[in-house]
Amino acid sequence: MTDSVANALATPDHEQPYAALGLKSDEYARIREILGRRPTSGELAMYSVMWSEHCSYKSSKIYLRQFGEKVTPKMREKLMVGMGENAGVVDIGEGWAVTFKVESHNHPSFIEPFQGAATGVGGIVRDIISMGARPVAVMDQLRFGRIDHPDTARVVHGVVGGISFYGNCLGLPNIGGETYFDSCYQDNPLVNALAVGVLRHEDLHLANARGVGNKVVLFGARTGGDGIGGASILASDSFSEGGPTKRPAVQVGDPFAEKVLIECCLELFAGELVEGIQDLGAAGISCATSELASNGDGGMFVELDRVLLRDPTLTAEEILMSESQERMMAIVRPDKLDAFLAVTAKWDVESSVLGEVTDTGRLIINWHGEEIVNVDPSTVAVDGPVYERPVAYPSWLDGLQADSASALPRSSDPDVLRGQFLQLLGSPNLASKAWITDQYDRYVGGNTALSFPDDGGMIRVDESSGLGFAIAADANGRYAQLDPYAGARLALAEAYRNVAVTGAVPAAVSDCLNFGSPENPEVMWQFSRAVEGLADGCLELEIPVTGGNVSFYNQTGDVPIHPTPVVAVLGVIDDVARRVPSGWQDEGNNIYLLGTTSAELDGSAWAGTIHDHLGGRPPAVDLAREKKLAALLAAGARESLIASAHDLSDGGLAQALAESVLRFRVGARVWITELMERDGVDVTTALFSESTGRVIVSVPREDDVKFQGLCEGRGYPVLRIGVTDKLSPALEIQDVFTVNIDELQSTHGGTLPAHFA
């Protein structure tokens, strides 16, 4: 028997499995209060997925509002679409706009690494399509457990395989990202996927259902039983100790179906055949119908029988909750419906007209001729629970911060320092990620200007003018564990700097905030501080947060991951021909260090790798200084004074020098005595400190005077520390150690293949 609205009215005391669907008893009571009756099983399915943590942001809303409140007029100037839509959109000039977003697919990627990661890429790409844009690039930010743990290889192979399969099949270049290994992610890896798309201003589309009588059309892949409640329910609970107990089917992706769907959507947009559009990701039809209706005129009628199914045995509730991939929902005017269906038929994309927009203010869904859903769509999609979770300062934090790395032994012995340098260079988090990134296509489409191993990825948007964008994403869970406010600002500063070293001007931010359970007051304190730090940082830099994602419940048992706020920064460059790579190529260029070095080894790679230590306070962040540095680098790139630029972050100066040598296999002679004297630091600090606001650049000798004048004019500290040397295939740090390029290469490049190849 169908659980219709009439049946719900007739059986008010019918027991319902709300707890199994992730709803608390008070939430269920509220649903009954909203409806004035018990929900039907279809309504219960909709509320459960839409009120899940993953979809509703019920624990984070009160904090995320800061991103919309802490803004200046300058931050709004180029912002065409901000938070609340599928993805943010930024005006980059010449009639072009860029849309980008980063999202999590963490829990599904632990249970089914290949499919979980693949559909993470597919989902974020559909967010980009739904804005009216052509997807042009992807990136990923990955966190795995200990590199030598028996289960890590399973997750790594699956995740990397899923990302490369889906992205390569779509024909989208993967232009960067990051990969870290840490035991805190052992049973809860992070798979954060980022996608970028480009569009003309006039092609912008939004997710709303306006225009009474307009048709609701579902098109793309058929609906199956895969992923029922997968991301929405699974990501709204933590794993129990001993592994996952919840195992809803993870979504299965078909990149070739998505590739066709992209082209089909772009043709629909070009023909102005769509009034509103929404991708189907987490919560599937429940999400698409309720969000479109609530963002529009407020009413929609749908006949669920018209949904094209892969599995005819699915119940109405399963159809509503299915997270089958490669599906879109469009609002289409009746007079354009035939033209719309002609385009979908041309691309061999199946479509079905489910219903129409109404003026009832209700979302009504019928099944087999009976009304199974009759709700105010805003109560499903917008007005869900808003929690002010208990917040508590972590009981362990003062002790952790007091345990400074300053007490760790430091050596001045050249042999010891050489050994530490090589140990860091080959450590899992600093070693080359080429084994991963070589599985991704970085150049397909022909518009990639920079990609891994450069600090930021860069794509040409306009072939005639050379207009392009750069993007970088960063996070440091160790720093955020020590101080989540500073950790979020450090992630922002590093991503901002990584964009700046390419020659682009930072313009906008997207974020994916990965934390433990919101029901843990200490986690909520970490979260609140991280959001505050990021919002304050963006206000100071005057770049807006355009959107993003919150991922809670990243913990196993009572043990949460380190707070990991991933921050993606997008920048604009007038001409990609003036891009700046991250390593030197020419003989006899002078190497300069921009910025100053302090004794900041707390939370550093040196402390973690050499001494297995985490404690103290993270490096100080001076965002005004970062802003000044970015402006300097943009001016240097514009005037073609800088041949290469590499930011200093994990591993400090020594790591940046090694990577700059390895980028094009050009050696360097470096001296650091003057640096040590100027900044009052010892040799360990000079080599491995992770002080912020620092970049190494190489400058052709003929441009030396101009470059130094540029730095002096802007009041930024600069020091010549070396010279590039093509004839000597080595990194020589005078009076400290020399390592030839082959040893650098084998040390840096051998770690991941040794574990996974």
Catalytic residues: 54, 105
CB-neighbour burial class of residue 199 (10 A; exposed 0-12, middle 13-18, buried 19+): buried
163: CB partners within 8 A, 6+ apart: 117, 118, 120, 121, 140, 174, 191, 193, 440
Cis peptide before 150 (omega within 30 of 0): no
Q: Tell me which residue has tokens 């084998």.
A: 746
Classified as helix, coil or strand, 662 is helix
**How many residues would you count in the chain?**
757
Contact 723, 593 (CB under 8 A): no
671: CB partners within 8 A, 6+ apart: 721, 722, 733, 734, 735
Distance from C-alpha of 204 to C-alpha of 208, rounded to nearest angstrom: 13
Distance from C-alpha of 519 to C-alpha of 542, rounded to nearest angstrom: 33
Instruction: Count the neighbouring beta carbons within 10 Å of the beta carbon of residue 584.
Output: 28
Quick one: angle between helices 337-346 and 255-270, nearest 10? 140
Q: Report the Cα 268 to chain-centroid distance in Å.
A: 28
Phi, psi of 583 (to 5 degrees): -150, 155
Q: Tell me which residue has tokens 């099983």.
A: 41
CB-neighbour burial class of residue 26 (10 A; exposed 0-12, middle 13-18, buried 19+): exposed
Phi, psi of 356 (to 5 degrees): -155, 165
Beta bridge partners of 448: 459
Classified as helix, coil or strand, 58 is coil
584: CB partners within 8 A, 6+ apart: 591, 643, 644, 660, 661, 663, 664, 666, 668, 698, 724
Containing H/E element for 103? strand 96-104
Distance from C-alpha of 647 to C-alpha of 502, rounded to nearest angstrom: 10
- Beta strands across the sheet bearing 448-450: 448-450, 457-460, 468-474, 564-573, 505-514, 545-551
